[in-house]
């Protein structure tokens, strides 16, 4: 009798264990990786919750020094797709080690890039071959990036009509953002805006703004250049000097005080790209 009872318990435990494993397999989703946080909302808008979307370089980590763990590298190779800006050196070094290069998608394809030596050797992103990488800061570039995403997703999963429907909705959202940003820029009373590091080059180009960067080719500005910027800003009534969250506020505080302006922090790497671009545009044009 005891043997029969033990056997029954053993069988029940085996069934329960097998069921748990199968349930876990059912709920586990396939992965899509993105290189930086601002790309994630675009992918989410297209694929919904069909995939787990992982950010390769998490908030607070330096893309230049980032190295995936062994598990992360295995997960990268197992992932369905990997979306990158295509202009950041860490992407070039890391993603070229992926076994299947067909799933590594360069989102800058079709965007007219801007030359510039914007080295981030101490603060994060690093430009690729002297090209400004900040394409995600312009809604016009985001629309091209979203189209590249959609094409890659449809090519990988051609039977998923829902992804095209979601992409169309995303495209409308980006069009609305484009219109809102254009209106803000057209109505800006300022001849230019001042920023420590030139992260808004594409936004400025695409919407007729002028960006004046304190940093020059990844280096601290000379005393002569700083004096010129201060004199011009006083004359033109500039009231804000912008700096990215990865740079210390002290980098711009003294300059802002000499101008009689305020040092204002922005974060071009924030994940909520839609709200972030609108907020940044409002700040530089108000």
pLDDT at 26 over 60: no
Taking each helix axis as running N to C, give the angle between helix 273-285 and helix 40-47, from 0 to 180 degrees, rounded to the nearest 10: 130
pLDDT digits 0-9 by tens, 54-112: 998 877 666 656 677 788 788 889 999 999 999 887 887 778 888 899 999 999 999 99
Give pLDDT, residue 60. Answer: 67
Q: Please, how many CA atoms are within 13 Å of residue 193, restricted to the half-sphere of its CB? A: 30
Grade residue 45 by pLDDT with cuts at 50, 70 and 90: very high
pLDDT at 235 over 90: yes
Give pLDDT, residue 69. Answer: 76
In the sheet that 31-34 helps form, which strands lie side by side, from edge to edge?
Answer: 52-55, 31-34, 81-84, 104-106
Homologous superfamily (CATH) of 187-285 is Nitrogenase molybdenum iron protein domain (3.40.50.1980)
Give pLDDT, residue 96. Answer: 81
> Do 196 and 117 form a contact (C-beta atoms < 8 A)?
no
Grade residue 194 by pLDDT with cuts at 50, 70 and 90: very high
Rounding to the nearest 10 degrees, give the CA dihedral for residues 206, 210, 214, 219: 40
First-last CA distance in the chain:
84
DSSP single-letter state for residue 101? G
How many whole angstroms separate alpha carbon 176 and alpha carbon 66? 35
pLDDT digits 0-9 by tens, 119-141: 443 344 444 458 899 999 999 99
Give pLDDT, residue 82. Answer: 95
Q: How far is CA 264 from CA 16, 73, 239, 242, 283, in A?
A: 57, 37, 10, 5, 9
**CATH 3.40.50.1980, the chain: domain bounds:** 28-182, 187-285
pLDDT at 25 over 50: no
Give pLDDT, residue 120. Answer: 43
> Do 88 and 38 form a contact (C-beta atoms < 8 A)?
no
Mean pLDDT (the chain) is 85
The structure's pTM equals: 0.83
Highest mean pLDDT (candidates 23-27, 187-191, 249-253, 277-281): 277-281
Is the CATH code 1.20.810.10 the one for domain 28-182? no
């Amino acid at each position: 009798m005891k043997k029969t009872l033990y056997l029954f318990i053993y069988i029940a435990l085996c069934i329960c264990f097998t069921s748990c494993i199968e349930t876990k397999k059912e709920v586990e989703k396939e992965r899509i990786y993105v290189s930086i946080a601002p790309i994630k909302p675009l992918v989410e808008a297209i694929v919904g919750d069909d995939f787990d979307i992982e950010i390769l370089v998490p908030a607070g980590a330096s893309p230049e020094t980032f190295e995936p763990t062994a598990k992360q590298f295995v997960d990268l190779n197992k992932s369905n797709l990997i979306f990158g800006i295509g202009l950041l050196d860490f992407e070039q070094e890391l993603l070229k080690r992926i076994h299947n290069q067909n799933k590594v998608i360069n989102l800058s394809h079709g965007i007219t890039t801007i030359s510039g030596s914007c080295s981030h050797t101490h603060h994060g992103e690093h430009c690729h071959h002297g090209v400004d990488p900040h394409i995600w800061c312009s809604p016009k570039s985001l629309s091209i990036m979203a189209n590249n995403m959609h094409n890659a997703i449809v090519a990988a999963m051609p039977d998923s009509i829902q992804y095209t429907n979601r992409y169309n909705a995303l495209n409308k959202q980006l069009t609305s953002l484009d219109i809102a940003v254009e209106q803000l820029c057209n109505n800006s009373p300022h001849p230019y805006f001042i920023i420590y590091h030139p992260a808004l080059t594409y936004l400025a180009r695409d919407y007729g703004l002028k960006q004046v960067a304190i940093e020059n080719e990844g280096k601290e500005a000379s005393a002569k250049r700083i004096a010129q910027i201060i004199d011009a800003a006083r004359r033109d009534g500039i009231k804000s000097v912008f700096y990215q969250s990865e740079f210390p506020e002290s980098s711009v505080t003294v300059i802002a005080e000499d101008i009689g302006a305020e040092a204002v922090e922005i974060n071009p790497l924030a994940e909520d790209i839609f709200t972030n671009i609108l907020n940044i545009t409002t700040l530089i044009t108000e």
